């Protein structure tokens, strides 16, 4: 193999070419408009943050961070997520703003890749609702996600949501606290149900308790399933979590979006980051989740402000792929006005008029083109203003 070409990019980095860029812009604007109509305000934060603060508070595993050093020798990270930067902003620049805050962002995130070909930089559109601990906040976030998806034209998608509090309470009831709880959660996080069941079978607990833990794996479905879940637990924490799930479901029904929803009480998106309702969304057209989110009440207090938080993040690259099958009217129309020197004024005037009517117009001196046929073929309309006087 030869050495990298001068135009080769670092692993996991991608160029976005005009066609895809414009499609991305279009989808972003559809989402952004909906988010704006729901009263969310967009902000931007720097790509570099201190490792000691934002890097350490981030939910992303240390090994996946891009780290570098500033001139003072302090370690920096390329932001791996936006929740930690937003928690920082909410606790500093926005610390006097009354809660709840409704914030949105659209930005690139950086995570080192595990497998070849997976992006190390990807765009995420997200919202955060800071300082509202009611279930209506959890419901609003999911309803907004669904509403934004609908605006993009996405069909055949689902959201599955669960409650980390239920799982924690069930584990605490059955195996107390400590290593066993962590091990059980890790199996679920790694989606290793075979390992989970084996581990449960070896635990020094009654057959009844083993059964309770195994039942967790099948707690999926609609609100009817919650009754089954109630039979498995007795602690106030577990019952409260189930009550919250029911209430969130009711909120979602009032938004008229429950037909998109599933309840899934064994969703584990992260070992110890989320504190309440968690959710993930899936589209029929793609093998990877399109968006995820949930409640993370312990993050903002780490930055010194007592505030709960919930939010979602949409992986724009995946959403675009999922939308790829949708036929849409092309907005790729571009007009070319070819002119020669003596008719430049006419060409400029004509372009101005066309642009005022919303057309995309390129004016190009004919002498500046090397291959006329190749160049004109990239336009949908070609107008020639060459030689002689205007006809």
Partner 1 sequence: MNEWITIAMPKGRIFEEAAALLRKANYPLPDDFSFGRKLIVEAPEAGMKFFLAKPMDVATYVEHGVADIGVAGKDVLMEEQRDVYEVLDLNISACYLAVAGLPGERREQVAPKVATKYPNVATQYFKEQGEQVEVITLNGSIELAPLIGLADRIVDIVSTGQTLKENGLVELETIEAVTSRLIVNPVSYRMKDQRIDEIVERLSQIIEGGES
Beta bridge partners of 41: 103
Q: Which two tokens stand for residue 24?
A: 């991305």
- Kindly state the smallest distance separating residue 194's Cβ from partner 1, in Å: 5
- Kindly state the smallest distance separating residue 158's Cβ from partner 1, in Å: 6
Nearer to partner 1, 84 or 159 (CB): 159
Nearer to partner 1, 269 or 383 (CB): 269
Q: Which residues bind partner 1 (CB under 8 A)?
A: 114, 156, 158, 160, 191-195, 197, 214, 218, 220, 262, 264, 280, 282-284, 286-289
Residue in this structure with the two tokens 């980390």, named with its chain if needed: 164
- Kindly state the smallest distance separating residue 79's Cβ from partner 1, in Å: 22
**Non-local CB neighbours of 200 within 8 Å, separated by 6+ positions:** 184, 210, 213, 214
User: How far, in Å, CA of 271 to CA of 218, rounded?
Assistant: 20
- Kindly state the smallest distance separating residue 66's Cβ from partner 1, in Å: 21
Nearer to partner 1, 40 or 196 (CB): 196
379: helix, strand or coil:
coil
Residue 365 CB neighbours (<10 A): 13
Nearer to partner 1, 286 or 383 (CB): 286
Nearer to partner 1, 21 or 193 (CB): 193
Residue in this structure with the two tokens 């207090």, named with its chain if needed: 301
- Kindly state the smallest distance separating residue 263's Cβ from partner 1, in Å: 11
Task: Answer whether 293's CB lies under 8 Å from 249's CB.
Answer: no
- Kindly state the smallest distance separating residue 113's Cβ from partner 1, in Å: 13
User: How far, in Å, CA of 56 to CA of 52, rounded?
Assistant: 5
- Kindly state the smallest distance separating residue 155's Cβ from partner 1, in Å: 12
| Burial of residue 300 (number of CB atoms within 10 Å: 0-12, 13-18, 19+) | buried
Q: Which residues of 133-165 are buried (b: 16+ CB within 10 A; e: fewer)?
A: bebbbbbbbbbbbbbbbebbebeebbbbbbbbb
User: How far, in Å, CA of 335 to CA of 172, rounded?
Assistant: 67
Nearer to partner 1, 18 or 287 (CB): 287
Nearer to partner 1, 83 or 292 (CB): 292
- Kindly state the smallest distance separating residue 221's Cβ from partner 1, in Å: 8
Q: Which two tokens stand for residue 175?
A: 């195996």
Residue in this structure with the two tokens 């996600």, named with its chain if needed: 145
Q: Which two tokens stand for residue 225?
A: 């399933």
Nearer to partner 1, 217 or 239 (CB): 217
């Amino acid at each position: 193999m030869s050495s990298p070409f001068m135009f080769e990019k670092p692993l996991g980095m991608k160029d976005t070419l005009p066609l895809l860029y414009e499609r991305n812009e279009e989808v972003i604007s559809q989402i952004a408009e909906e988010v704006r109509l729901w009263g969310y305000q967009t902000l931007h934060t720097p790509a570099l943050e201190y490792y000691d603060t934002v890097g350490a508070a981030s939910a992303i595993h240390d090994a996946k961070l891009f780290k570098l050093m500033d001139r003072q020798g302090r370690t920096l990270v390329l932001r791996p997520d936006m929740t930690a930067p937003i928690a920082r902003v909410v606790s500093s620049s926005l610390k006097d703003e009354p809660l709840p805050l409704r914030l949105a962002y659209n930005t690139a995130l950086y995570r080192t890749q595990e497998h070849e070909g997976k992006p190390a930089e990807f765009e995420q559109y997200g919202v955060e609702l800071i300082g509202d601990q009611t279930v209506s906040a959890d419901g609003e976030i999911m309803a907004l996600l669904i509403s934004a998806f609908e605006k993009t034209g996405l069909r055949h998608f689902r959201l599955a949501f669960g409650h980390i509090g239920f799982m924690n309470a069930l584990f605490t009831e059955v195996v107390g606290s400590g290593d066993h709880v962590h091990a059980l959660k890790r199996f679920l996080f790694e989606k290793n149900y075979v390992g989970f069941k084996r581990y449960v079978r070896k635990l020094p607990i009654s057959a009844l308790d083993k059964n309770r833990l195994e039942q967790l794996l099948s707690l999926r479905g609609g609100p009817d399933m919650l009754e089954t879940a109630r039979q498995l637990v007795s602690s106030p924490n577990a019952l409260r979590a189930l009550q919250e799930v029911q209430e969130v479901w009711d909120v979602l029904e009032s938004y008229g979006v429950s037909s998109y929803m599933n309840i899934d009480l064994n969703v584990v998106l992260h070992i110890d980051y989320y504190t309440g309702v968690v959710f993930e969304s899936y589209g029929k057209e793609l093998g990877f989740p399109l968006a995820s989110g949930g409640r993370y009440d312990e993050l903002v207090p780490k930055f010194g402000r007592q505030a709960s938080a919930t939010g979602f993040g949409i992986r724009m690259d995946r959403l675009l792929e999922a939308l790829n099958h949708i036929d849409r009217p092309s907005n790729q129309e571009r007009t070319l006005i070819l002119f020669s020197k003596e008719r430049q004024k006419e060409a400029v005037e004509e372009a101005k008029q066309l642009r005022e009517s919303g057309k995309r117009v390129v004016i190009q001196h004919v002498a500046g083109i090397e291959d006329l046929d190749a160049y004109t073929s990239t336009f949908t309309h070609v107008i020639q203003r060459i030689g002689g006087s205007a006809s």
